[in-house]
């Protein structure tokens, strides 16, 4: 748990302390309005809170009161508290299957229910479906989750699915609703008529590829080149990889570094090219840059998978900040600025 003088500094930890202080029913009502990733992050933080002091709780509550001028009762919980709260938010059936992963949601349609599942479970669910159905389902998911699903499917079908996702421009609402209804029956969830017919495309494909592990990503790009070199180049141009961080402006790099832990940064830079390293060093004080260089030199051998995981984590943060308009990412496929 990140701490600062007098209290908790990390926003996610603050939210966790606040929810643990509200009482099960009120906390459950709040969780109903959050998305899968938000619930996962806050739920994970709740399970990791230890030795929360009275001063820390008061600091969080006082900050909250300043914004809403509302006081709530205090109730510090445990695993049982969290599980009971999630059951109230979701019902016994959903909470029972998802509480262990702290991935649970409120009222969802059949397709939206997939967003609360892990990648392996979704891949098992669609493994024997027609490749076009698989492509539509994967295109509907968030890119990082879609990449996890794709990674868990047979290597022989990945290229076909990627090509299908890239070629999707729209899906008839009736077809999407039919798929949604089939999934709802499988999940025995309540109906939700909302559906979108706009998904897939080259940008969606590039976003998914961004979250694949390096080996799978490289293999798919090479396979794509053999089938359609122009399409492979279009997808690659829209991708944002770790090396592209050297193209981010200094203000963006400085903002990004404030969101990254030093341990993750050191791991990621172990496998970075010199341009990225110099970009990072150039946006630090001389003393901080020297310390980081020393840490890199003293860091022993690390697994390639650990380096890739650290780089993916940083890229995920960078994309989130880009989506929020906090930084601008530069890549070969980006628009020129004048």
Residues of the chain with pLDDT > 90: what percent? Answer: 11
Q: For the segment 159-207, what is each residue's pLDDT rounded down to a tens digit?
A: 999 999 998 877 777 777 778 777 776 665 433 434 444 567 888 888 8
> Does the pLDDT at position 280 exceed 90?
yes
Domains 110-238 and 242-323 share a fold: yes
Residue 253 clears pLDDT 80, i.e. is over it: yes
Q: What is the pLDDT of residues 202-226, one digit of tens each?
A: 888 888 888 887 788 888 888 998 9
pLDDT at 64: 67
Who has greater pLDDT, 279 or 111? 279
Give the per-residue SS3 of the chain: CCEECCEECCHHHHHHHHHHHHCHHHHHHHHCCCCHHHHHHHHHHHHHCCCCCHHHHHHHHHHHHHHHCCCCCCCCCCHHHHHHHHHHHHCHHHHHHHHHHCCCCCCCCHHHHHHHCCHHHHHHHHCCCCHHHHHHHHHHCCHHHHHHHHHCCCHHHHHHHHHHHHHCCCCCHHHHHHHHHHHHHHHCCCCCCCCCCCCCCHHHHHHHHHCCCHHHHHHHHHHHHHHCHHHHHHHHHHCCCHHHHHHCCHHHHHHHHCCCCHHHHHHHHHCCCHHHHHHHHHCCCHHHHHHHHHHHHHCCCCCHHHHHHHHHHHHHHHHHHHHCCCCCCCCCCCCCCC
Give residue 317's pLDDT: 87
- Tell which wins on pLDDT, 57 or 163: 163
The CATH class of the 110-238 domain is mainly alpha
- Pairwise CA distance, residues 229 & 70, whole Å: 59
Residue 8's pLDDT is 63
Query: Which of 14 and 80 is assigned the larger pLDDT?
Result: 14
The pLDDT confidence band at residue 86, using thresholds 50, 70 and 90, is low
Using an 8 Å Cβ cutoff, are 268 and 280 in contact?
no
Across all residues in the chain, what is the average pLDDT?
Answer: 76
pLDDT value at 137 more than 50: yes
Per-residue pLDDT band for 72 (boundaries 50, 70, 90) equals very low
d(CA 28, CA 257) in angstroms, rounded, equals: 34
Least confident of 105-109, 149-153, 163-167, 170-174: 105-109
Arithmetic mean of pLDDT, 323-332? 69
- Delimit the domains of the chain by residue range: 3-101, 110-238, 242-323
pLDDT digits over 25-34, tens only?
777 778 777 7
Answer yes or no: is pLDDT of 231 > 80.
yes
Instruction: Tell me the CATH number for domain 242-323.
Output: 1.10.220.30
């Amino acid at each position: 748990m990140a701490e600062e003088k007098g209290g908790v500094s990390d926003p996610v930890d603050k939210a966790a302390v606040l929810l643990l202080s509200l009482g099960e029913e009120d906390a459950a009502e709040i969780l109903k309005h959050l998305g899968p990733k938000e619930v996962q992050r806050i739920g994970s933080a709740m399970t990791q809170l230890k030795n929360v002091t009275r001063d820390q709780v008061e600091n969080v509550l006082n900050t909250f009161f300043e914004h809403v001028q509302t006081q709530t009762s205090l109730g510090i919980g445990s695993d049982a508290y969290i599980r009971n709260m999630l059951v109230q938010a979701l019902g016994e059936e959903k909470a029972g299957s998802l509480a262990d992963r702290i991935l649970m949601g409120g009222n969802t349609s059949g397709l939206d229910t997939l967003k609360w599942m892990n990648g392996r479970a979704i891949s098992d669910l669609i493994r024997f479906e027609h490749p076009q159905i698989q492509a539509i389902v994967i295109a509907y998911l968030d890119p990082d989750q879609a990449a996890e699903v794709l990674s868990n499917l047979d290597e022989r079908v990945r290229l076909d699915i990627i090509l299908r996702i890239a070629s999707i421009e729209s899906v008839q609402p009736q077809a999407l609703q039919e798929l949604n209804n089939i999934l709802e029956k499988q999940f025995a969830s309540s109906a939700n008529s909302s559906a979108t017919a706009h998904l897939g495309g080259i940008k969606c494909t590039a976003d998914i590829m961004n979250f694949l592990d390096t080996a799978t990503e490289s293999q798919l790009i090479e396979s794509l080149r053999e089938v359609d070199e122009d399409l492979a180049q279009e997808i690659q141009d829209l991708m944002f990889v770790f090396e592209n961080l050297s193209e981010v402006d200094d203000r963006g790099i400085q903002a990004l570094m404030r969101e990254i832990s030093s341990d993750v940064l050191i791991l990621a830079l172990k496998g970075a090219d010199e341009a990225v390293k110099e970009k990072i060093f150039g946006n630090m004080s001389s003393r901080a840059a020297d310390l980081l260089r020393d840490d890199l030199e003293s860091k022993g051998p690390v697994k390639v998978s650990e380096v890739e995981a650290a780089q993916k984590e940083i890229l995920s943060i960078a994309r989130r900040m880009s989506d929020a308009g906090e930084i601008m990412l530069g890549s070969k496929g980006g628009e020129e600025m004048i």
